[in-house]
Amino acid sequence: MTKLLKPGQIAEGAAIIKAGGIVAFRTETVYGLGCDAANTEAIEKIYIAKNRPHEKALPQQVSSVADLKEFFPDTDAAHMNLFRKLKHVTVVLPSGIAVRIPSDGFARKFLRACETPLAVTSANISGQPSRLTWREVYADLNGKVDAIFMNGKSKLGVPSTIIKLAGGKLQIIRQGSVTAEQITKKTGYCIIK
C-alpha cells in the first residue's frame, strides 16, 4: 500500500528514499517519481511501476547549483552557466547524465533532505499524460510506489525542456516548457536542429 505523506513529512520521505524506496513529489513542471540515483534496485522499481522501456534512461535531479558542483564535480563552467541562466530545463552534462534543478521550493527541500541525486521521471504510467496532482498520481500508482507527497498542483503542467551543449551550440533533445527562443535570449547560444 502506498503511503500518503503531508508536505511537512519531508524527513519521512527522505528516509524512504535512503532505504531504497520510490517517492512521488511535486515539481514546478509535473509530478515526479524519484529514487536514489545510485541504487540500481530502486531504479528498477521505477521502471516496473511506470512500465517504462529500459532503453529510456532516467534523468537526475539535485536541489541547487552547489549540489551540482558537489555531486558532479567534472561539470564545466559552460554547463554550470546554463543552470544559472535557465529554469525548467534538464541539461545533458558532458558525462552524458541529464540533470535538472527544479525551481519548486518543496521539490528543492525534499532533494536537499535526501542528500544524494535522485533519478526522477514523470509520475505516470509510460505513454500516458503527465500527472499534475497527487490524486492523479495516486490513481495511477497506488500500490506500485512507496509514498506520494500530497502537495498542490504542478504550476507549469509541461515537462522540462532537455538540452545538450555541443561544439558551442545548443540542441533541444525534448521540447518542453522552455522554447528555443527563450533559451537563445537568455544564453546567447544558437539552437541547432
Average pLDDT over residues 142-163: 97
Q: Is this model's pTM higher than 0.85 or not?
A: yes
Domain boundaries, the chain: 1-63+102-158, 76-99+160-193
Quick one: pLDDT band at residue 150, thresholds 50, 70, 90? Answer: very high
Contact criterion met (CB below 8 Å) for 41 and 21: no
pLDDT of residue 129: 96
Interval 3-29: pLDDT, tens: 999 999 999 999 999 999 999 999 999
Interval 33-77: pLDDT, tens: 999 999 999 999 999 999 999 999 999 999 999 999 999 999 999
Give the containing element (helix H, strand E) for 84: helix 77-85
The gap from C-alpha 48 to its chain's centroid, in whole angstroms, comes to 18
Contact criterion met (CB below 8 Å) for 120 and 58: yes
pLDDT of residue 167: 86
Classify residue 107 by burial, with Cβ atoms within 10 Å: 0-12, 13-18, 19+: buried
Quick one: pLDDT band at residue 192, thresholds 50, 70, 90? Answer: confident
Sign of CA dihedral 37, 107, 124, 58: negative
**β-pair partners for 26:** 31
pLDDT of residue 94: 94
Domain 1-63+102-158: CATH superfamily is DHBP synthase (3.90.870.10)
- Residues whose CB falls within 8 Å of the CB of residue 38, separated by 6 or more in sequence, listed in order: 116, 117
Quick one: pLDDT band at residue 186, thresholds 50, 70, 90? Answer: very high
pLDDT of residue 172: 96
Average pLDDT over residues 89-106: 97
pLDDT of residue 118: 98
Per cent of the chain over pLDDT 70 is 99
